[in-house]
């Protein structure tokens, strides 16, 4: 639906009042009505870097989800305040790994005698606590656009990787990109004693995958791929690495949201693409590339928005910008200094990856 013209005008006016004081970041999964006000759009890696590159902005308004705003707070200066327009914009995947569960897992690895040779690699999609755990144990953060480089680095530091919290990104990168076998991977289930694993299994594994997943990307199945290949002859299937392993194996191309956009930009006119990622982005790409004669369809037939990304809507953005313009800081995301110190180590390790 087109955005309410009154709200559009109010957002524009509040942003104008704020001028250089505010910097608005928008993740690719955000609604069109919000994206139109973003000073920069990107995947989670690009946004983490861009947030850090605006020291003159007093307010960083993060149109994305909670873990992204936390990361922005960690990477920006103390004089900058990061704001999330709706505090309920979380991420179900990030919630699948709590600090207590991960501490317990580390105890299990310690008892099995493997903690000393294990390097934690945590996906950006995790809480600041998990990032701090990662930093404390000499690990790195990764995103879907640098997971391969993060794992290469981790295996230069140790023999095993504990990959948190997305089992699919971990497995897909290890098996598809690095030639490991499925047998090199075990899944640690935080809801079972000892993660459901024996000490022997932990000793034999190279990748210890946390049992987390994205509820949006997890909905794509092998049937979705087979079905779209029948429906759209000649289609190229391009999916995000948060999809299940069999989906990634059946796809033609795999990559982060930035990769998906770049691939479509470079695609020839007349080509057809089925995209397996969040629907706001796929719809935007379908509209953008239709005039160039590139057909973009959604990989599945069922609607697949990320409900928490969608919580950031124009009314919340207007309220946020008007509050800031009136000098009231609302919905500030602030990571405590102790957590920040170690989480920053892990994030900076990621930013330093070759
Ligand atoms: P990227 O932005 O790294 O592509 O990740 C997608 C995602 O699920 C963010 O929540
Ligand atoms: Fe989390 Fe998945 Fe939504 Fe990304 S798309 S914010 S991983 S639930």
- Per residue in 61-100, pLDDT (tens digit) is 999 999 999 999 999 988 999 999 999 999 999 999 999 9
240 and 194 in a single domain? The answer is no
Cα separation, 169 vs 143, whole angstroms = 9
Nearest-atom index, ligand 2, CA of 166: 7
> Tell me, what's the ipTM?
0.97
Quote the number of domains for the chain: 3
207 and 226 in a single domain? The answer is no
**CA distance readout (Å), 50 to 84, 270, 352:** 16, 34, 15
In a domain? residue 72: yes
DSSP string, 223-283: HHHHHHHHHSTTPEEEE-TTS-HHHHHHSSEE--HHHHHHHHHHSPTT-EEEEES-HHHHH
To test the ligand 1 pocket, which listed residue (25, 35, 40, 256) has its Cβ within 8 A of the most ligand atoms? 256
Q: Which two tokens stand for residue 45?
A: 């890696």
98 and 209 in a single domain? The answer is yes
227 and 266 in a single domain? The answer is yes
226 and 206 in a single domain? The answer is no
Which residue is closest in CA terms to ligand 2's atom 7?
A: 214
Length of the chain equals: 354
Tell me how far the alpha carbon of residue 269 lies from the centroid of ligand 2, in angstroms: 31
To test the ligand 2 pocket, which listed residue (214, 217, 257, 275) has its Cβ within 8 A of the most ligand atoms? 214
Judge if the beta carbon of residue 92 lies within 6 A of ligand 2. Answer: yes
Asked if residue 243 belongs to a known ligand binding site, the reply is no
User: Range of 294's domain?
Assistant: 217-298
Tell me how far the alpha carbon of residue 326 lies from the centroid of ligand 2, in angstroms: 32
What's the whole-number mean pLDDT along residues 269-291?
A: 97
In a domain? residue 332: yes
In a domain? residue 348: no
Judge if the beta carbon of residue 256 lies within 6 A of ligand 1. Answer: yes
Angle between helices 314-325 and 5-18 (to 10 degrees): 30
Q: Which two tokens stand for residue 83?
A: 């704001």
In a domain? residue 351: no
Mean pLDDT (the chain) is 97
If pLDDT is split at 50, 70 and 90, which confidence band does 11 have? very high
The pLDDT > 90 percentage for the chain reads 94
290 and 250 in a single domain? The answer is yes
Q: What are phi and psi of 235, to 5 degrees?
A: -70, 145
Judge if the beta carbon of residue 143 lies within 6 A of ligand 1. Answer: yes
In a domain? residue 346: no
State the CATH number of the domain containing residue 23: 3.40.50.10800
Residue 2 has a pLDDT of 77
Residue closest to 160 by CA, chosen among 174, 179, 149? 174
Which letter does DSSP use for residue 88 in this model? T
106 and 153 in a single domain? The answer is yes
**pLDDT reading at 298 higher than 90:** yes
Tell me how far the alpha carbon of residue 242 lies from the centroid of ligand 2, in angstroms: 9
If pLDDT is split at 50, 70 and 90, which confidence band does 16 have? very high
20 and 126 in a single domain? The answer is no
If pLDDT is split at 50, 70 and 90, which confidence band does 13 have? very high
In a domain? residue 30: yes
């Amino acid at each position: 639906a087109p955005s309410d013209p009154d709200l559009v005008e109010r957002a524009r006016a509040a942003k104008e009042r704020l001028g250089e004081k505010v910097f608005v970041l928008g993740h690719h999964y955000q609604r069109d009505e919000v994206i139109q006000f973003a000073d920069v759009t990107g995947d989670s890696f690009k946004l983490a870097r861009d947030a850090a590159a605006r020291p003159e902005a007093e307010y960083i308004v993060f149109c994305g989800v909670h873990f992204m705003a936390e990361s922005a707070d960690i990477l920006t200066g103390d004089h900058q305040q990061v704001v999330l327009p709706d505090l309920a914009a979380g991420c179900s995947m990030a919630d699948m790994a709590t600090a207590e569960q991960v501490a317990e897992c580390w105890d299990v690895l310690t008892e099995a005698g493997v903690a000393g040779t294990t390097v934690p690699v945590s996906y950006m999609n995790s809480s600041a606590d998990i990032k701090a755990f990662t930093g404390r144990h000499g690990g790195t953060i990764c995103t879907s656009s640098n997971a391969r480089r993060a794992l290469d680095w981790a295996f230069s530091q140790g023999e095993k990787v504990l990959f948190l919290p997305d089992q699919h990104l971990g497995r897909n990168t290890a098996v598809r990109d690095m030639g490991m076998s499925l047998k090199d991977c075990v899944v640690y289930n935080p809801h079972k004693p000892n993660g459901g694993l024996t000490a022997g299994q932990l000793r034999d594994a190279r990748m210890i995958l946390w049992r987390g997943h994205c509820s949006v990307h997890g909905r794509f199945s092998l049937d979705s791929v087979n079905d779209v290949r029948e429906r759209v002859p000649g289609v190229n299937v391009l999916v995000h690495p948060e999809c299940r392993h069999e989906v990634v194996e059946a796809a033609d191309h795999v990559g982060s949201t930035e990769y998906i956009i770049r691939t479509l930009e470079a695609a020839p006119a007349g080509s057809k693409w089925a995209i397996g990622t969040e629907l706001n982005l796929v719809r935007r790409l379908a509209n953008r590339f239709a005039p160039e004669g590139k057909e973009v369809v959604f990989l599945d037939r069922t609607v697949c928005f990320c409900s928490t990304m969608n919580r950031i809507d124009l009314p919340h953005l207007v309220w946020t910008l008007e509050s800031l313009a009136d000098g009231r800081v609302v919905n500030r995301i602030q990571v405590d200094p102790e957590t920040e110190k170690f989480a920053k180590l892990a994030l900076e390790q990621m930013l330093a990856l070759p």
